[in-house]
Structure 1
């Protein structure tokens, strides 16, 4: 076990050795297992002369009185125990690290280091358990002379055979047994939701019966019913797929044997499922072997030794050959990063597309018994609990017409069969307990079980064992960041769904909670993680995104939550100082209400909704700031505009014109595609924005544009940069910004306009799409081939049947003649019309939507596939204001001031992510530092906010470039003049107001 010679000299006791059986963490409500049974305790007491103490626990499968009968004592604490055994890791606040002492009164009685046995979840460097590992190691706050008396840590997971290296103490077989029952029960629930009741509705969940024998009998009765009456015809042949050949899969096979199983080969699946005469009174089992679904890309046959030496030469074809035919898939195979996944997110779409073409309910349900988060099954992103054993999986890359998949991924399955699992575990553990007793009582540490304990020891004598010394830097970093000597504990969940443990923190650290982990979260995390005096916690429903965000940030904590269930994150809000919400806008009011309840500040990048406005008085009374509109648009646009306007006001100048445009676009070098636009998420919002009405001031007139005419009311050649040309589209209602920006009465403004930037041609092409009904939302379409999409949209738009041959003449009548060529080319590029150019090869199309959808939703689905950013393509963000100001007086000269930001995406983060995420982080840190005194619901317009944000953006390389031309008379400012453009470029141009007015006048 790695004890030093000095330790071994002090380990011979004059009193019986004391063994303590811990009570498991109370937060693990389903943990009823015990490491040692009463029979094992009786053997230790009667044959080994050991003293056994048992912490009381009414949840444990063996009642306290059974241990008392076996010779143990019930003890409220285990302070006198030398060996402490439990199942899962010990909560930090209950971990005994001081040496044990002999109960005799002899002043020379030796101190004895303790030994802890548990599944510690530290051997792989799990960051969430670094505090636990550190408790076994010498550190700067401890006297180094005490280090040899620190306890030893032995991990059950590392107990192995000498000959084959296989684990000897564990619960894998019982995970398979329980996994079959949980998966069948969850699957029956999924079938019931689609209107089919199967015999498996009566499958007992493993915790509902007291023994494995009773569970087997119940499943056997279901099997007899199936043999007699069969499974529902609507489900088709009932096929169970199984992977793996270890203890997990053997447990599965043992339980499945209670059903009328007929084994089939992978090659027979298609005939089995498609044959209408297949016997429904059997359950078909395909136990897929690696050679059946692992393909060697070099052309060689699968060989196990070659696979483990060269896993990069293999890819899985499970999604094509096996998955589509399965009614239930039981995954019992493990996975590590250097090996190919069993199924990727993309392969899930392939499997579901093929499954929906077969009869029956195919590939609706998965039991991932191995429970490797984002492992062999990339789309399995979270572990579930026995309280809520399954969830719906839908990767963001999954086409909208394909269904989600139900996954059972309970990570403590053996805990649901506590009696039989505990008996099995205790029997396997006892030989190792015998070796430990001999070590303590006879200083004899020899034999194969002793050597196995040595291999399973992670730490002893205050030092990591040689095989585990690579863990030391993480522990050192944890101490360096203020963890040493901490007296505050907090419950933290590992991103893979591991149950909560206690993480120590510096009590002076401020705590920021980030809710959400989407595309803009990366810069937020990077910015806040730079602060050594701030502890960041990320909470999201996507463990894959959490892992991406925490990569490279060892000190950032995380927890998987259910964003739809406030109880899963309310405690995190209570523990935080500042909360950042990057969740969908609809959830912000709920988050804000919790922040008010717990008196915590909130930051969001979203517009202030009516629901948020209504919380102003409550937030003020609670001394809470609910800060919104602190991203890009809204956000940086507000900060930079207000800064410029306030500076002009401080100079006693009157603002007569304010114009602002903002947009996120592909960088100019990105290859040209229809719309000259690309989407990094669903384009539905962009399409619906093209239907919004707009209102603004121009040439001292209030202009109102109906939603039907928005795309015909764009402004060409917005003069921002000489490097590329842009057009602008009015953005909703600009009039209220007279108040937001303190511009006075809107009626006194000559110009007041906020707009969206696009490349030239966007509005015209989008108008063409609208003209043929592609943006319609009132009715739905459904088709079996993409060629039918445009005829159906035209039919709805014209309220008359349309055939393929009618399309050319109809397009000529609906689309402006000047746009017909570019529009036809766009439809051909999108593969919605046959190509007119010889040799033109259409690009691939996404799968056909399976159900009825509005034309706009179908079009958004198609564009998300066709116009997505490709690798190495970067985006661009442009924000520019033009303000015309003057001193008072009718003949006072006017000045044109511009403020412009042009920035590009980087390999690490998109321009959109940086311009939204960085201001959010800056604002949150400013609040953490108590630099923002305002309370209630606000945007960033207060002087305690926007200057700090702008300074932080300048440090991040996102500063606004300001310029101005002074002394222009009102008559001169209406003419073309040479002025300095934003971003440092100079060109001859009119002021924005002139060019925009000329365009509107021409259109009118």
Structure 2
């Protein structure tokens, strides 16, 4: 279906009423434009047909409408109201839309006055322009409204004082500064509906169906009245039959300004259900009450005094809070979140203010099924809301919680939202019409509001927005040069690399890029001190503080860079990539290609942008080195003879630092390692396709992984790493039916890891959903066992020992009990955890409690070093078919006082790849990894660079009868 405007239709379609207005060439003309076709869900309009008819009748205006089949009101309704269809709106004095006008359709030239013959007047555009916060991607739009804008963009100079006027709805306020034209109420309505449905879907995924499954999606129902009618039916069902008993009472927490538009919208929807309002202080007792009335839905409107205090313990005081936000802390994670079933956030957030909920605190919210973040402050008040979602895909999952963060919620109620919006905007439209007529405007307050909302007028920025001029000028300078040199040449100025993030792997990246002084490096982090330490030794590097929620600041940094490196947490990568596409900047990350990132491929190709991923250690060096081995075989024509590809990689403590339970230490959240212990795996081994369900992974380990050339004193075991089979295509190997007998990618651990982790699993330590409460770490094992067996376990040491003996394998008991005592998780081991932080008061699943404890108990201590081991084995049928040629590649890297082994093997490849991109040697575009077509310079450059830094792969070839597969098969069968 095309969304383009069609040519003006004939009088036979418009009818007599429209024909009357076709003759009013001297009327003040209002143009109603179509929205950007790329905004597929944007169906709203600032002027519904009823308002068009009213303005024509009361003000005698002429109204032109761009035809659009997506708009919620059909074009025939506008024709009936007296409007005319026009493809460009060029005759319109006032052009109205919702979102910013697509640049290719923007008309800013002056036009004849409707009242003074021979005189010209400036045009007026009204929209949500998304320019007033300095949004880099819209500086081109703002440029069109400023002095010299038309000449810069089209070569046609506009007479001074006749530049088009830009009015932003967001700046329309009353005399007290309160906004008067907005969609906030409908954001609240739609957000509540989407949040309730997200909660229902999450509960269904967990095996429980609830009445909320029948909540209508707002865009599927014609009107808000129809939605309310359906909700009342659902509410009647809840009042009669109750909510599912297994879920406990349904408790919804709502944040947002008291009597604010968003909050009013949320509460008006919830009011259609049988709600009972409760206070924050009532939540603990309510959530734990087994006899709670399930025929009610409990709603707590959580205002700041209930969960925010000064850091010194003093109570919340509004004026002091906004003046000194750094002196306050949020207790939402402990006072509110643990008791909620659904959290609907309507509270705004700004950098420097305490967050409602951080990523680390999310596991404390053990009852929480879903979060609806209506405010959608990316990386803001809810730290793990890292991207906006769409009406097509409204949620994403974080730690088992569904997160709804749609940023165009009112668009899902286009009819009701448009009618309400037009009623708010009517007075301002009338005031503008009278201005163009030269008539006295009686509504002087509306005129003053229009002046305050005029971002640009007479070619100048409004008072208070002068700083935007620098951004526009910077864009113009960049635009002038963009057609000549998209990336500055070496020698004209230093090329600039922006590094987003200052975490554990950033040091080697900064050192490599800034060490020679030929590249300017900017390290942007929300922790300024970390960034400053990274750049302290480099004259060509500088640090800056940035919050990823500050879109204007992030866009400004990206716009000034030549290449962007994202070392942020994985969920941030897609939003950074979106900005890189907008600004035509190349991006490099070390992370796996996520489905969200992959979806950006076509747009990136269209923008001639490279989004390079998987260039760290694993993925990264493993891909590069495997590709190098395979390229040798391709050159010699032997790829068809490949029988086996095996790859294992592990990040471990160095042997001298590994004498701890699990033989493992953590420099990040252990939850990922614990979660991986229950993930399924699929691989091909000795001609047999094997699928290992998650519950069997630890029992299906490889007791001996013979890494070629490893030190004699070190023995490794291995676990299959998820699904190995997609790498058959990635590495362009023969398919199983073409002779491939083994394809396996795995994770290395020291011997004993899998059996001890299985013991932890047998004791209930890895249970991810059933919360328990402990008052000390030595009580952990007893409570985990009680939760596992639903039977009491006495608290004395002998009873706990007997219970442990019952649940772990006899030959694993001694090692397990020793580990539990070492970790301080059984009675009598209090001295082992004397410096450990106290366990949280809120109930948590055993897996989350264990992760919190291991992060401290098995942390790296000062002076300890880590180890990275990567090993490939490629088996190729020998000439004549007797025996096989075994190609091996091995990487062994130890950490030192300068950087950990993990930091070097992740941070260096990222930097080396960025250098290849800067040099223009990488022809690949779109979303890809280091071995994609056109990316040869990446994998070659990384391997050569690592070799120069004496951390290259050691390769060997030998002819033997059997390879690693025999050892792995025997070990797997023995372990099973």
TM-score norm. by structure 1 comes to: 0.62
Question: Alignment partner for residue 83 of structure 2, among 60, 72, 78?
Answer: 72
- Which one is further off, 672-681 or 199-208? 672-681
Q: Give the direction of change, closer, same or farther, for the CA distance of 1:124–1:270 in structure 2 (3 Å limit).
A: same
Q: Which residue of 2 aligns with 1:308?
A: 322
Question: Alignment partner for residue 117 of structure 1, among 121, 126, 135?
Answer: 126
Q: Give the direction of change, closer, same or farther, for the CA distance of 1:730–1:450 in structure 2 (3 Å limit).
A: same
Alpha-carbon offset, residue 195 of structure 1: 3.4
Larger Rg: 1
Question: Alignment partner for residue 380 of structure 1, among 377, 385, 388?
Answer: 385
Question: Alignment partner for residue 237 of structure 1, among 246, 249, 270?
Answer: 249
Kindly indicate whether the alpha-carbon contact (under 8 Å) linking 1:775 and 1:859 is maintained by their aligned counterparts in 2.
Answer: no
**1:39-78 superposed Cα distances (whole Å, 9 cap, x missing partner):** 3223332333322111112222222222223222111111
Q: Which residue of 2 aligns with 1:735?
A: none
Q: Is it true that 1:81 corresponds to 2:78 in the alignment?
A: no
> CA–CA distance in 2 between the matches of 1:418 and 1:301?
42
Q: Give the direction of change, closer, same or farther, for the CA distance of 1:336–1:194 in structure 2 (3 Å limit).
A: same
Kindly indicate whether the alpha-carbon contact (under 8 Å) linking 1:381 and 1:542 is maintained by their aligned counterparts in 2.
Answer: no
> CA–CA distance in 2 between the matches of 1:50 and 1:836?
84
Alpha-carbon offset, residue 342 of structure 1: 1.6
**1:59-98 superposed Cα distances (whole Å, 9 cap, x missing partner):** 2222222222322211111112221110111122222233
Question: Alignment partner for residue 210 of structure 1, among 222, 231, 249?
Answer: 222
How does 1:152-551 map onto structure 2 within 5 Å? 152-163=165-176, 165-244=177-256, 245=258, 246-352=260-366, 355=367, 363-394=368-399, 404-442=400-438, 447-482=444-479, 544-545=572-573
| Counterpart secondary structure, 2:55 | helix
Q: Which residue of 2 aligns with 1:43?
A: 54
Kindly indicate whether the alpha-carbon contact (under 8 Å) linking 1:874 and 1:910 is maintained by their aligned counterparts in 2.
Answer: no
Q: Which residue of 1 aligns with 2:142?
A: 133
| Counterpart secondary structure, 1:312 | helix
Q: Give the direction of change, closer, same or farther, for the CA distance of 1:840–1:666 in structure 2 (3 Å limit).
A: closer
Alpha-carbon offset, residue 192 of structure 1: 2.9
> CA–CA distance in 1 between the matches of 2:316 and 2:288?
28
Gaps of 5+ in 2: 1-23, 514-518, 522-557, 633-647, 686-699, 720-745, 773-778, 787-797, 872-889, 954-976
Kindly indicate whether the alpha-carbon contact (under 8 Å) linking 1:261 and 1:285 is maintained by their aligned counterparts in 2.
Answer: yes
Q: Cα RMSD over matched residues?
A: 6.2
> CA–CA distance in 2 between the matches of 1:775 and 1:952?
43
Q: Give the direction of change, closer, same or farther, for the CA distance of 1:306–1:948 in structure 2 (3 Å limit).
A: closer
Q: Give the direction of change, closer, same or farther, for the CA distance of 1:256–1:776 in structure 2 (3 Å limit).
A: closer
**1:359-390 superposed Cα distances (whole Å, 9 cap, x missing partner):** xxxx2122222222222222222222222223
> CA–CA distance in 1 between the matches of 2:930 and 2:262?
54
Kindly indicate whether the alpha-carbon contact (under 8 Å) linking 2:836 and 2:856 is maintained by their aligned counterparts in 1.
Answer: no
> CA–CA distance in 2 between the matches of 1:663 and 1:72?
69
Alpha-carbon offset, residue 840 of structure 1: 6.1
Q: Give the direction of change, closer, same or farther, for the CA distance of 1:770–1:542 in structure 2 (3 Å limit).
A: closer
Q: Which residue of 2 aligns with 1:920?
A: 913
Kindly indicate whether the alpha-carbon contact (under 8 Å) linking 2:930 and 2:938 is maintained by their aligned counterparts in 1.
Answer: no
Q: Is it true that 1:18 corresponds to 2:14 in the alignment?
A: no
Q: Is it true that 1:843 corresponds to 2:836 in the alignment?
A: yes
| Counterpart secondary structure, 2:298 | strand
Alpha-carbon offset, residue 910 of structure 1: 3.5
Alpha-carbon offset, residue 248 of structure 1: 0.7
> CA–CA distance in 1 between the matches of 2:565 and 2:932?
24
Alpha-carbon offset, residue 225 of structure 1: 3.0
Q: Give the direction of change, closer, same or farther, for the CA distance of 1:235–1:835 in structure 2 (3 Å limit).
A: closer
Alpha-carbon offset, residue 217 of structure 1: 2.0
Q: Give the direction of change, closer, same or farther, for the CA distance of 1:929–1:635 in structure 2 (3 Å limit).
A: closer
> CA–CA distance in 2 between the matches of 1:267 and 1:872?
47
Kindly indicate whether the alpha-carbon contact (under 8 Å) linking 1:541 and 1:563 is maintained by their aligned counterparts in 2.
Answer: no
> CA–CA distance in 2 between the matches of 1:144 and 1:307?
51
Kindly indicate whether the alpha-carbon contact (under 8 Å) linking 1:516 and 1:581 is maintained by their aligned counterparts in 2.
Answer: no
> CA–CA distance in 2 between the matches of 1:233 and 1:900?
54
| Counterpart secondary structure, 1:334 | coil
Alpha-carbon offset, residue 717 of structure 1: 8.2
> CA–CA distance in 2 between the matches of 1:212 and 1:806?
58
> CA–CA distance in 2 between the matches of 1:416 and 1:481?
37
> CA–CA distance in 2 between the matches of 1:156 and 1:131?
19
**1:772-807 superposed Cα distances (whole Å, 9 cap, x missing partner):** 676999999768865479999xxxxxxxx9972799
Q: Is it true that 1:100 corresponds to 2:96 in the alignment?
A: no
How does 1:702-721 map onto structure 2 within 5 Å? 710=704
| Counterpart secondary structure, 2:98 | strand
Q: Give the direction of change, closer, same or farther, for the CA distance of 1:953–1:561 in structure 2 (3 Å limit).
A: closer
Q: Give the direction of change, closer, same or farther, for the CA distance of 1:447–1:459 in structure 2 (3 Å limit).
A: same
> CA–CA distance in 2 between the matches of 1:663 and 1:195?
36
- Which one is further off, 914-923 or 526-535? 526-535
> CA–CA distance in 2 between the matches of 1:572 and 1:869?
43
Q: Which residue of 2 aligns with 1:63?
A: 74
> CA–CA distance in 1 between the matches of 2:445 and 2:784?
75
Kindly indicate whether the alpha-carbon contact (under 8 Å) linking 1:482 and 1:506 is maintained by their aligned counterparts in 2.
Answer: no
**1:199-220 superposed Cα distances (whole Å, 9 cap, x missing partner):** 3333222223322222222222
Alpha-carbon offset, residue 875 of structure 1: 7.2
> CA–CA distance in 1 between the matches of 2:334 and 2:845?
23
> CA–CA distance in 2 between the matches of 1:561 and 1:731?
21
> CA–CA distance in 1 between the matches of 2:180 and 2:820?
63
Gaps of 5+ in 1: 1-12, 356-362, 395-403, 488-503, 584-603, 608-628, 644-660, 695-705, 719-725, 733-755, 793-800, 881-897, 963-1004
> CA–CA distance in 2 between the matches of 1:772 and 1:27?
54
| Counterpart secondary structure, 1:15 | coil
> CA–CA distance in 1 between the matches of 2:44 and 2:924?
51
Q: Which residue of 1 aligns with 2:801?
A: 804
Alpha-carbon offset, residue 923 of structure 1: 4.4
Q: Give the direction of change, closer, same or farther, for the CA distance of 1:129–1:302 in structure 2 (3 Å limit).
A: same
| Counterpart secondary structure, 1:76 | coil
Number of residue pairs the alignment of both structures matches: 774
